[in-house]
Amino acid sequence: MESLKVPYGLGDSGQLVTAANAQKNKTYFCPCCKSKLVHRAGDLKVKHFAHPSSSNCGQESILHITAKKLIESAIRSNSLSQIEITLQSDCYQCGVEFNTTLPFGTFTSAAQEVAVASYVCDVVGYRSGGTSLRIEIFHTHEVDGEKAINLPIPWIELKAEDVINDPHHWNPTQSKLKPSFCSGCRSHIKYVQSVANRWNIDSTLYTPIKNASLANYVADVETCFRCKEVVPVFWWKGVPFCEQEPPPPRPKTIKYRNSKKYGGSYWANTCANCNMIQGDNYLFLFGDAPFKSMPMSKSERVPDGRLVKVVSGDEAMSEMMKVIKRNIF
């Protein structure tokens, strides 16, 4: 009984051939157990390969081995400037999915079952300059946590079924790669840097990437409501309405200023052109605030609708009462 379907067969020279492209009167073999395959090419069913169910070969092994061979072949075709590869990624900044094209010649060669450190990688694609990319094939067993953390080279994990459907489009289920950005976020990051440079803000003090772990200060831009100049503004731990001194060194536009609306003084973003306070509500909290996605200190509204920083318990009540008293007395 021939029940086990095989998506690709091996030709005489060891190349993978789909059932749709298989030629009559030619012999094809299973990529896994190397047994002779039967080519099913009737008019009623989709063309496929099959071999006897009595074989020790299993579907998982067939898919895994076939996917490895397809990835190695895709990389070699790319190295020979024959086929481009697309890599699906999530933007590190906004999270949107986008495709990056790996152009001809991205890779120089490939190999299967390569030892890297104390691990064996399904496929390794080598690139010029000695760098490499590990590709793991996932069918029922994904990359475990220890291997994911400790492998010393960039890696991606691909589903075997996805590879078999299209070996030139990579949609990782897991990955460890450098952060990548969609075109919109790349443009905005460059724009933020250009605005900060225009106002002579030291670039070593901030990151334009919205990740609190990368630097003490995260930069974006805002149009000053007073002078209408586009100026740099910054997030740091402790906003909004931060009354504790931010960590030095800090961008020169962050200043300790008094605000009648707030009812006291706090460390605020100011306009690099006219020195006007750029309100924390509009930078951190309201509407399309540029830092709305960043971590904020807990806050609570006082009776007049404004926000004050709250810590917890008695400290929180004390902090609230200070602001209320500033407005009454």
What per-residue confidence (pLDDT) applies to 35?
84
What number of other Cβ atoms are within 10 A of residue 167's Cβ?
A: 22
Q: Are residues 168 and 188 in the same domain?
A: no
Specify if 260 maps to a domain.
yes
Q: Are residues 16 and 45 in the same domain?
A: yes
What per-residue confidence (pLDDT) applies to 300?
47
Q: Are residues 171 and 197 in the same domain?
A: no
Q: DSSP letters along 215-262, please?
A: -SEEEEEEE-TTT--EEEEEE-TT-SSB-SPPPSS--TTEEEEEETTT
Residue where a domain stops, chosen among 144, 176, 208: 176
Specify if 217 maps to a domain.
yes
Residue where a domain stops, chosen among 123, 157, 176: 176
Q: Are residues 248 and 143 in the same domain?
A: no
What per-residue confidence (pLDDT) applies to 219?
98
Spatial distance between the Cα atoms of 238 and 244, rounded to a whole number of angstroms = 8
Which parts of the chain sit beneath pLDDT 50?
A: 1-2, 300-305, 308-321, 323-329
What per-residue confidence (pLDDT) applies to 117?
84
Q: Are residues 39 and 84 in the same domain?
A: no
Q: List residues bridging with 9 in a β-sheet.
A: 17
Spatial distance between the Cα atoms of 167 and 2, rounded to a whole number of angstroms = 27
Q: Are residues 213 and 278 in the same domain?
A: yes
Q: Are residues 191 and 293 in the same domain?
A: yes
Q: How many domains does the chain have?
A: 3
What are the C-alpha distances in Å from 62 to residues 6, 142, 227? 7, 17, 67
- Closest to 170 (Cα-Cα) out of 154, 153, 158, 182: 158
Domain span at residue 229 reads 183-297
Burial tier of 8 (Cβ tally within 10 Å: 0-12, 13-18, 19+) = buried
Note the pTM of the prediction, 2 decimals: 0.76
Specify if 302 maps to a domain.
no
